[in-house]
Structure 1
Amino acid sequence: MTVFTDQTVLVTGAGRGLGAAIARAFAREGAKVAINYRKSEQAAQALAAELGANAAAFQADVTDPGAVAGMVAAITDRFGAPDVLVHNALADFQFNGDARKGLDTMEWADIAHQAETAVGGALNLIRALRPHFAERGAGRVVTIGTNLVQNPVVPYHDYTAAKAALLALTRTAARDLGPLGVTVNMVSGGLLRVTDASAATPDAVFDLIAQQTPLGQVTTPEELADAVLFFASPWARAVTGQNLIVDGGLVSG
């Protein structure tokens, strides 16, 4: 028996990239995995087929409360109510410093677009899952952040502002959900080699980050996924409201 046997894990934005790595990590440890996707149906279905009978793909735009509620109901019918939520979904974004908007062209709508998925999606998911968590007196929520909040080496204003707001919600939600036996934590990565979002990043940037990192390499999606497993596991039962930065030691706090 592995750590997550008999547990249902919902991973948002899991059809590809980091989300897919997180889904694979939970499946490896025995979980029933609900693979949420918005547009990447083919990739999500392929991942579900790869992971086997204890995985299935569920379409929902996390910014739509009704769609989220419907997805949670469908997951509950298939696997049982989720014990663990990993909110990884990301609004369309490319880490390309040369093509990013500066403050001279940035508009509030750009920030709001990112926040709608990062923060609004988290709110919708927590609201949908809260009754299930309350009924069993336990639950785990893990949000995905970024080390750019601590070290905005490239000023992606919209993305970083949304993730900073998600960190705030993570901490306030931890306070609010704690009495229900629910922990809420964040795992923040640096630039990952390689996801769809980082595919536009020049190799020279990856090399520069590796040179500045104590471990001498850029973090992989699989390495970050292992940290998510920790927060979802019994060994993190007394840890909540925390932000763990997983970037090979590039930044702290």
Structure 2
Amino acid sequence: MNLKQKIVLITGASRGIGAEMARQFGTAGSIVVINYLNNEHLAGKVVREIEEMGGQSVAIRADVTDSNQVNEMIEAIVDSFGAIDVVVNNALSHYTFNPKTRKTAWEMEWEDYNKQWEGSVRGAYNICKAAMPHMKNQMSGRMINIVSNLIHFPIVPYHDYTTAKMSLLGYTRNLAKELGGFGITVNAVAPGLTYPTDSSHETKEDVRNEIIQLTPLHRLAQPKDIAGSVLFLASDLASFITGQCLNVDGGLVMH
């Protein structure tokens, strides 16, 4: 897939799907920048795992909702490595997928929506805005935004989370239109319920089983499934794909 020596930034990469992406990019020979907010220990652990496999990695703490911190992180990456080739917007405001504790539509407050908007859309905006000048100068780049298959099939109506992710898809497609002339592709990956992760830990067994029954491949997504799709979109194999949303959910959503 020719990802060797590509400079890859993954936000929210200290655990779960983000950490698995980091490991797979490391295995593919990329130089992986692991962005984290709170868990320095876990971020360092992922760095060590990549280095033990013979790869290169570094962890940088930055709050993706803070444009100053993001700008400093992007400048540090370019100063250190000379480029930025791939950004994966995986960070989000904390969310727990528990149908029994979710807020119903009539319980939602605007602040609930705004919290998810800040994590998903503003975070991605800050990263993409800071990376754009460098990718434009290179006349190449890959931007990959993590959304959710819930935007197409809200099997459980997580109103605030899903609304923010749908907005992120709109941002993705507008960027794809604007940046295509600079050789930059912008795509989204929409995971199904991914287990095990911290976010899905509280999803009850009956809900997991219902999703499995509805899924043609008869299992839930695993972090490695999502990571593999992201690596594909970051690679030369996907050089003519932009503005797309790839559902990685075993066929639960088909369109």
TM-score range for the pair, normalised by the shorter chain length: over 0.9
1:144 Cα deviation after fit: 0.4
Secondary structure at 2:79 match in 1? helix
The Cα offsets for residues 146-178 of structure 1, whole Å up to 9 and x where unpaired, read as: 011111110000000000000000000001111
- Structure 2 length normalisation: TM-score? 0.96
Moved more, 141-150 or 74-83: 74-83
CA distance in structure 2 between the partners assigned to 1:252 and 1:85 by the alignment:
27
1:188 paired with 2:190, answer: yes
CA distance in structure 2 between the partners assigned to 1:104 and 1:57 by the alignment:
41
Moved more, 74-83 or 172-181: 74-83
- 1:95 maps to 97
CA distance in structure 1 between the partners assigned to 2:58 and 2:82 by the alignment:
12
1:216 Cα deviation after fit: 1.0
Alignment of 1:217-228 (within 5 A): 217-228=219-230
CA contact (8 A) 2:23 2:49 kept: no
- 2:34 maps to 35
- 1:16 maps to 15
Moved more, 171-180 or 47-56: 47-56
1:82 paired with 2:81, answer: no
Given candidates 134, 137, 160, the residue that maps to 1:135 is: 137
CA distance in structure 2 between the partners assigned to 1:203 and 1:80 by the alignment:
47
- 1:123 maps to 125
Alignment of 1:54-93 (within 5 A): 54-93=56-95
What residue ranges of structure 2 are gaps of 5+ in the alignment? none
Q: Could you say what the CA RMSD is over the residues aligned between the two structures, in angstroms?
A: 1.1
- 1:156 maps to 158
Secondary structure at 1:199 match in 2? coil
- 1:197 maps to 199
Q: Displaced runs of 4+ in structure 1, greater than 3 A?
A: none
Moved more, 203-212 or 52-61: 203-212
CA contact (8 A) 2:185 2:243 kept: yes
- Structure 1 length normalisation: TM-score? 0.97
- 1:5 maps to 4
- Count of residue pairs brought into register by the alignment: 252
CA distance in structure 1 between the partners assigned to 2:208 and 2:23 by the alignment:
24
CA contact (8 A) 1:140 1:183 kept: yes
Moved more, 128-137 or 205-214: 205-214
CA contact (8 A) 1:150 1:252 kept: no
The Cα offsets for residues 52-106 of structure 1, whole Å up to 9 and x where unpaired, read as: 1611111001011100011112222333322000000010110011001111210
